[in-house]
Amino acid sequence: MTSVFSAPIRPVLEATDYSDASRIRQDVENKGMSRQAWGITTKVREMDAAIRELDPGQSMVREGHPEVSFKAWAGNPMQNAKQKPAGRAERERLIAAHLGDDLIPNLWPQLRGRGVAKNDLIDALAMLWSAERLRAGKAQVIPSSPEYDSCGLRMEIVY
């Protein structure tokens, strides 16, 4: 089974290291900070700044999560972790059925060796699927009535 980990909360974006982030999250939510969440904090911080500056109404940039998209796409949760060959194959079958059998074989050689993992490509294609649904007016969000954070941004996952 696959899982979705909690994203870094806004106060953690100011943390300078993992222990600082963990302490902040413990103080705010009485929960620890996962290593996975800490691993994406820099990118979340960068995107947060860009959204607040360039798209504060979130008309162009929305938040998604590949595993949420894959679950909606397949109609049920993925059965295998994406790091395992069976999990990668499971996701690649969905992509091939929707976007063509040759997409990943054509894209991957262009990306290999450029600091991109194959799982990153697969995740990006899941986000493309969600973006297509959003553009077509078919996307859904979790939660269905999102709250707003202290900067006025919707706290939601689009799929």
Question: Tens digits of per-residue pLDDT, 106-117?
Answer: 999 999 999 999
Report d(CA 91, CA 81) in Å as an integer.
Answer: 10
Q: Locate tokens 């974006």: which residue?
A: 13
Report d(CA 7, CA 44) in Å as an integer.
Answer: 9
pLDDT digits (tens, 9 = 90+) for 67-90: 999 999 999 999 999 989 999 999
pLDDT digits (tens, 9 = 90+) for 39-57: 999 999 999 999 999 999 9
Query: Cα–Cα distances in Å, from 117 out to 23, 121, 122, 136, 141?
Result: 31, 7, 9, 29, 27
Task: Supply the pLDDT for residue 98.
Answer: 92
Report d(CA 123, CA 64) in Å as an integer.
Answer: 10
Q: Which two tokens stand for residue 38?
A: 């800490």
Tell me if 9 sits within 8 A of 28, measured CB to CB. yes
In the chain, where the domains are located: 10-62+137-158, 75-125
Residue 2 has pLDDT above 60, yes or no: no
Residue 6 has pLDDT above 90, yes or no: no
Task: Supply the pLDDT for residue 50.
Answer: 96
pLDDT digits (tens, 9 = 90+) for 115-132: 999 999 999 999 999 999
> Model's pTM, two decimal places?
0.86
Task: Supply the pLDDT for residue 5.
Answer: 82
pLDDT digits (tens, 9 = 90+) for 12-43: 999 999 999 999 999 999 999 999 999 999 99
Residue 3 has pLDDT above 70, yes or no: no
Long-range contact pairs involving 84-90 (C-beta distance under 8 Å, separation at least 24): 87/2, 88/118, 88/119, 88/122
Query: Cα–Cα distances in Å, from 131 out to 30, 33, 38, 76, 140?
Result: 34, 29, 26, 19, 11
